[in-house]
């Protein structure tokens, strides 16, 4: 699911994001900078989450706010979050 991130964008206003969104963004950027794929499950514990849906929601909100760009999601992925 994290493979849906195409790129991190420069110039996003950090003041527009919530504290948990920024925590998620910083963790994602650090993990992906290591040069390997990162699974959603791998990110849950460091973020204090037990369900993937809040993480996916945070990632989508970060994209909406201009922090990153996502691949277009498939119908199956959209249904798994709903």
CA angle 78-73-39, nearest 5°? 85
Which one is predicted more confidently, 69 or 4?
69
Could you give the percent of the chain with pLDDT greater than 70?
84
pLDDT (0 to 100) of residue 80: 54
CA angle 38-40-41, nearest 5°? 105
Tokens of 46: 């460091």
Domain layout of the chain by residue ranges: 2-81
Euclidean distance between CA atoms 62 and 17, whole angstroms: 7
């Amino acid at each position: 699911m994290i493979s849906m991130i195409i790129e991190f964008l420069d110039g996003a206003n950090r003041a527009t994001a919530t504290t948990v969104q920024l925590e998620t963004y910083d963790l994602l950027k650090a993990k992906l900078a290591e040069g390997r794929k990162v699974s959603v499950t791998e990110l849950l514990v460091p973020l204090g989450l037990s369900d993937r849906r809040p993480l996916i929601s945070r990632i989508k909100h970060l994209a909406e706010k201009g922090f990153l760009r996502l691949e277009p999601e498939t119908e199956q992925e959209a249904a798994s979050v709903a």
